[in-house]
């Protein structure tokens, strides 16, 4: 049982509210909090934590094969079958929790889940110097994807529309450009983070024949995509979701990922509806909900 401190609103939450997935319950999956009760794990009581969002069964074929994030019987915090973090308390299995170091503030640690999701790309693909990598979309997730990819030493370019958002990345030494200057067949790897179906078409243009497109957006509804060019150009498409928490916490604690400049505004939980409206405005980065200190 975790007393919630801070929750981030992410695009998945905005999509859930719009009905992309038939979830009914408390939203919120990016959180920090403090453990209040832990039957069988009393040493956790009082610890400040973040938590992996999928609670798994350990019995199904996916679990037994070590792919717990694809458990057939999973519940997912604030997304599927399990009330989420936009409440005073939440419940997760102890095995999902990760203690966070004292020096790591809640408003930074709350970026653990999306930073882990960004790092998942590097779990799935080997990325390093000499590779031409493009990130399309410079929103909340695009920023974290770009910052984590920059650490690999790859030849990175971020394409976006919003000059202020691109400027933040440029300030960190990351090459940026506007999306209308996208060049065809330039990239070995393209990561699509726009959240819009049109982003896929941009990614397809940018990737070279034989290259790879990583999809990070969860689109609502169907996306009309001409598949033949993917066959002819032998493009690999990789879906990418949750990632490893421990390295995400370490990067945030070491200050190697800048999360602070991504926070647009903070609201108390009692103004949560207003916070969702704010988060849904175009160009607004991360909106945080403060539940308790």
* Strand blocks (E) in the chain: 2-9, 30-35, 48-51, 54-55, 75-77, 81-82, 89-90, 97-99, 132-136, 155-160, 175-178, 187-192, 207-215, 236-239, 263-268, 286-290
| Ramachandran area for residue 153 (φ above 0: left; ψ -120 to 50: alpha; else beta) | left
Nearer to Zn ion, 56 or 174 (CB): 56
The minimum distance between CB 57 and Zn ion, in angstroms, equals 4
The minimum distance between CB 29 and Zn ion, in angstroms, equals 6
3-class DSSP state of 128: coil
Helical H segments across 154-282, by residue range: 163-170, 198-206, 228-232, 245-253, 272-280
Nearer to Zn ion, 12 or 131 (CB): 12
Nearer to Zn ion, 12 or 176 (CB): 12
Environment class of 239 (CB within 10 Å of its CB; exposed 0-12, middle 13-18, buried 19+): exposed
| Ramachandran area for residue 81 (φ above 0: left; ψ -120 to 50: alpha; else beta) | left
d(CA 185, CA 193) in angstroms, rounded, equals 18
3-class DSSP state of 123: helix
The minimum distance between CB 64 and Zn ion, in angstroms, equals 8
Nearer to Zn ion, 6 or 63 (CB): 63
Give the footprint of Zn ion on this chain (CB under 5 A). Answer: 10, 12, 56-57, 60, 63, 71, 73
The minimum distance between CB 269 and Zn ion, in angstroms, equals 17
The minimum distance between CB 260 and Zn ion, in angstroms, equals 18
CB 248 within 8 A of CB 116: yes
Nearer to Zn ion, 57 or 151 (CB): 57
The minimum distance between CB 83 and Zn ion, in angstroms, equals 16
Nearer to Zn ion, 56 or 252 (CB): 56
């Amino acid at each position: 049982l975790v007393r919630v401190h801070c929750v981030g609103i992410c695009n998945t939450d905005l999509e859930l509210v719009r009905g992309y997935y038939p979830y009914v319950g408390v939203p919120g999956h990016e959180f920090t909090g403090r453990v209040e009760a832990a039957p069988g794990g009393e040493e956790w009581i009082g610890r400040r934590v973040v938590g992996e969002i999928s609670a798994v069964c350990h019995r199904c074929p996916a679990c037994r094969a070590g792919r717990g994030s694809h458990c057939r019987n999973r519940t997912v915090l604030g997304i599927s079958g399990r009330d989420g973090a936009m409440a005073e308390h939440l419940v997760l299995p102890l095995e999902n929790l990760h203690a966070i170091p004292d020096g790591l503030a809640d408003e930074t640690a709350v970026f653990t889940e999306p930073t882990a999701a960004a790092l998942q790309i590097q779990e799935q693909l080997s990325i390093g110097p000499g590779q031409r990598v493009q990130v399309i979309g410079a929103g909340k997730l695009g920023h974290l994807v770009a910052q984590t990819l920059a650490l690999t030493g790859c030849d990175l370019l971020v394409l976006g529309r919003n000059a202020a958002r691109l400027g933040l990345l440029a300030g960190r030494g990351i090459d940026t450009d506007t999306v209308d200057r996208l060049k065809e067949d330039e990239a070995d790897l393209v990561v699509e983070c726009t959240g819009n179906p049109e982003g896929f078409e941009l990614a397809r243009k940018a990737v070279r024949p034989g290259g790879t497109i990583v999809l990070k957006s969860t689109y609502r509804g169907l996306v009309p995509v001409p598949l033949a060019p993917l066959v002819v150009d032998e493009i690999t498409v990789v879906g990418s979701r949750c990632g490893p928490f421990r390295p995400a916490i370490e990067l945030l604690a070491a200050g190697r990922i800048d999360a602070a400049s991504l926070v647009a505004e903070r609201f108390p939980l009692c103004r949560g509806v207003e916070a969702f409206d704010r988060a849904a405005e175009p160009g607004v980065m991360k909106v945080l909900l403060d539940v308790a200190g």
